[in-house]
Structure 1
Amino acid sequence: MGDLIQSLGLSASGMRSQSMRLRHVSENIANADTPGYHRKTVSFQEDMASGQVTTGPVRLDRSDLARIYDPGHPMADDSGHYDGSNVDLVIEIADAREAQRSYEANLRMFDQARQMTQSLFDLLRR
């Protein structure tokens, strides 16, 4: 019985972590055209005591910002360039798809454990 309850907690922690990842991917996509914006990344950590997944600290991608030529832009320097963002929409969409599929897998595991727990309770009531 304890293993079924623990599996519910593990699946829920995976869903929480993937939803946090999706949140940061969404922020990256929304700020793809924001000058000077650095892409956010999130890592996952395992809680050794419970085995649950937690999100680590949010980190900024320190790769070079895109240099954009637009002499009419208010942030342009003397050469007509300004710093864009380092968000690559293809990478963000791939990350979003991966997070979505992982979330759905955790959701299926959660639902399966819930159904098994319900079946066990039904058997114990007889």
Structure 2
Amino acid sequence: MMFHIGDVVEGIVTGVQPYGAFIQLDDHHQGLIHISECRSAFIREIGDELVVGQTVTVMVLDIDIYSEKISLSRRAVLDGYDKAAIDKERINQDYKFTQHHYWTNQHLAIGFETIAKSGSIMINEALERLHQ
């Protein structure tokens, strides 16, 4: 993925929902600005703040590597991100482990071992159910 936490990029609003706005970052990547990240003040209707087709500058807050979902913030850019240097290396180091959300059992490293051990039992059970 070409985006990193802390990057400031431009995108186009492609959809607006009550909970946030979808932003097209490039031909292959889309992100979401949650309504709370739209601006610092309270927003009753996000449609009052963003409209489809609008170009916005946003900061990448988080990237879920597994699903490739990108969380964006417009508030961080509006609040003057250019007033202080962004330490991208520190941000990426701090979130090095928390940004990977794998919803699998890959950390167990068992592979197909369980299927190989119980494969014949599962097949026999399936055949019994078929013939009932």
| TM-score, with length taken from structure 1 | 0.33
- Is the helix fraction higher in 1 or 2? 1
User: Relative contact order (C-alpha < 8 Å, sep 6+): which is higher?
Assistant: 1
| TM-score, with length taken from structure 2 | 0.32
- Is the strand fraction higher in 1 or 2? 2
